[in-house]
A and B are shown apart, each in its own frame.
Chain A
Amino acid sequence: MSTLGWMFWGYLAGIVLVAGYVAWIGARLSALERRQRRIDSELGADR
């Protein structure tokens, strides 16, 4: 592979790592918000 090709893969790897991290945060945040609503409704039903 040419040097410029390796550069391309280097930049892509960095961008994919950051994008993957953002996706992980988004997915976990959604899951936690759903869990929070479930707990809130359970606690509300107990009152």
Chain B
Amino acid sequence: MNESSSWWKTGAPLGVAFAAGGAALVWAAMWYAPTERTMGDVQRIFYMHVPAAMNGALAFLVAAVAGIGYLVRRSERWDRVGRTAVELGTLWATIVLVTGPIWARSAWGAWWTWEPRLTTTLIAWLIFLGAILVRRIAGDPEQAARLASVIAIIGALDLPIVYKSVDWWRGNHPIVFGKGGGGLAPEMRTAFLVGALAVTLTHVVLFRLRYRLAQAEDRIVAAERLADEREGLR
């Protein structure tokens, strides 16, 4: 099979799935869901903001588990899972940090406030961004993997703080689910489920793609090492 047909086979279903998921998400959020009585249309950001936050937290948790796995076993597979999960978690957290201020500007009259949940989320994002950057800065791949694993574990310690920050420090970030939450009307719940499904499926597809890239990166490192050794023998 030539390169272009291989790409077409991988890229075409991915593109269709991505377009369908994006269209379903936008339709559910912008048209299907009713307008919320108090906040108005700005509440519609919820259908992407919350699924992105949930998937971000999940990815950061996977990154921490992979970090522990790598530090214990020193296996390349754990390192690849960690590399993949850290990047995906940072991507979802970036979406959370972009969509949140759009809501805040309308609801609170300011793009950003140092509210506990916002602040702890920003801290988590910065920690995991650090785990990405350390891989680019550290010269030795094994040292980079070790450092990134430790940073991912430290970052995951912030996750329960992000979750409980609203209770602990009485922040004014809205609570929808759980104790003290307002809950959702049935149509809003359906729209939320569509959003959560679209974002989670995208996450699964992206994870597989990024993991494949991590495998290709590792193969290159091994092949270059072999080529260098042969060069040295000449």
Contact = CB atoms under 8 A, between A and B. Distances in A.
Contact of A26 (B11, B45, B102): B11
B50 interface: no
Given A25-B209, A39-B227, A40-B223, A14 B48 contact: yes
Contact of A10 (B14, B99, B227): B99
B87 to A, nearest CB: 8
A2 B226 CA distance: 59
Interface residues of B, number: 41
A3 B30 CA distance: 11
B133 interface: no
A37 to B, nearest CB: 9
Nearest to A29: B213
Contacts of B123: none
Interface residues of A, number: 31
B117 interface: no
B220 A19 contact: no
A22 B206 contact: yes
A6 B105 contact: yes
Given A7-B44, A14-B98, A36 B223 contact: yes
A11 B202 contact: no
B213 A32 contact: yes
Contacts of A39: 220, 223-224, 227
Nearest to B10: A26
Contacts of A29: 209, 212-213, 216
Contacts of B45: 7, 10-11
Interface in B22-39: 22, 25-26, 29-30
Interface of A: 2-4, 6-11, 13-15, 17-19, 21-22, 25-26, 28-30, 32-33, 35-36, 39-40, 42-43, 46
Interface of B: 3, 7, 11, 14, 18, 22, 25-26, 29-30, 40-42, 44-45, 48, 52, 91, 94-95, 98-99, 102-103, 105-106, 202, 206, 209-210, 212-213, 216-217, 219-220, 223-224, 226-227, 230
